[in-house]
Amino acid sequence: MNFLVIGLSYKTAPVELRERLSFTSGDPGTVLRAITALSGITEGMILSTCNRVEVYAAAQNPALGCARLQRFLAEHHQLDEAQLKPHLYIHSGRDAIRHLFRVASSLDSMILGEPQVLGQLKEAYTQAESSCTAGPVLNRLLPRAFAAAKRVRNETAIAQHAVSVSYAAVELARKIFGDLAGKTVMIVGAGKMCELAARHLTGQKIGEVLVTNRTLSRAQALAEQFGGRSVPFAEFPLFLHQADIVLTSTAAGGVLLTRAQLEQIIRQRKNRPMFLIDIAVPRNIDPEANNIDNVYLYDIDDLNGVIETNLRERRKAAKKAEDIIDQEIIRFYSWLRSLEATPMIVALRQQAEDIRLQETAKTLGGLQHLDPSDRRAIEALTRSIVNKMLHPPVTALKRIGDDITGEIYLEAVRRLFDLPTDPQQPTQPAPLEEVSDKKQDISS
């Protein structure tokens, strides 16, 4: 098997080039079939996201396959191959398998541990299957990649710590309130991070969502997204006592909520906890509000501090994840080697049996005086000798592991016993003259 990957990512190419190389438009099946129509390419799959464009393929010759795929990428997107080449990375064999497993496990993602890439990879594999461009190589590798990703997610904490502002806000809210079900959320402003945080919060079965913005139509549109209601911007402080969680992200350029206002609001709430997330720069909420009992105020720097702490935790988890990837690669290669060894064992046994039958028939032909029981004894003797002679090499082939010795054993047996290059091809019995010559060579 010759498995390879060629592509570029956020690590090697600017967004402008990634956009030009994207396969997000058009018929993906047509492109996949064009890839497998290239000489020497037997299977193909495309992973195209905002952060990476990669072609996974099986090829008879990895070097030639990569060259043809590189040319294809350039010509398909009408790019100069020389302009594209410096941004590409190419992996084959074990390196390509490791890359696939790391991508599936989000160890190669811009945000370590993010879950989206696994879904994108599954979608790419489904497309390759439906386009009939996935064969034995991809059909074995992709399920193993998914299994590796599942182990990484289940056995490490790589996805358990928020590493975005919006997720960090939700994580902090859960720490303060525990269960967020039924909590009222107010969104002040229509900033993107504020919207994302609110979107994550609505996934926690919160109660009512209140939205205010200087532009009323924008507030109404955002409220409709969350099944909430809009309130006039000039009057929003009057509604604050209803809110358990407040998200602010406006371009007002100054403080919208003072400590005095919030002291009055917390009294109206009868000291029930209130969580304020001020994502705006300049800040919308007076930092002194953090000194009010049962008021928990976090600004963008606080959230970034949480994110940095969580990133360190994810990086720790990534070390364990890399060990899991190593284990899964060993497991895959053990399976792969067993596939290579099995037909070789069959060919070796068949060759030995052909020689045994020929030599036994020739010998018994000159011993016509033997009765049937004697002939059966000679047959059993020769069969036993062959089995005992083959036992050590066959056992070694069955046990070959995930290291270079496996390849050495396979090649040594192939040469020593003059087996065909493709052991899956049936071994033809050697002519009697060749068998006799070989016997003489061995005895001399």
Angle in degrees, 0-180, between the axes of helices 300-365 and 432-443, rounded to the nearest 10:
100
Q: Which amino acid is at 315?
A: R
Instruction: Just list the catalytic residues.
Output: 50
Taking the C-alpha atoms of residue 408 and residue 397, their distance in angstroms, rounded to an integer, is 10
Helix axis angle, 93-104 relative to 136-155, nearest 10°? Answer: 50
Bond preceding residue 431 cis, omega within 30 of 0 = no
Residues pairing with 4 in the sheet: 57, 92
Give bridge partners of residue 7 from the DSSP assignment.
Answer: 54, 89
Strand ranges inside 285-397, DSSP E: 295-299
Three-state secondary-structure class, residue 37: coil
> Cβ distance 312 to 168 under 8 Å?
no
The conformation of residue 430, written as its DSSP 8-state character, comes to P
Residues contacting residue 55 through CB under 8 Å, at least 6 positions apart: 5, 6, 7, 35, 44, 45, 46, 69, 73
Cα–Cα nearest to 250, from 301, 192, 168: 192
Cα–Cα distance list, 36 to 44, 73, 75, 133, 137 (Å): 6, 13, 16, 7, 13
Q: Distance (Å, rounded) from C-alpha 35 to C-alpha 41?
A: 7
Which run of H or of E encompasses 126? helix 116-130
Q: Is 45 strand, coil or helix?
A: strand
**Closest-CA residue to 17 (of 50, 65, 66, 64):** 50
* Tokens describing residue 240: 């604050």
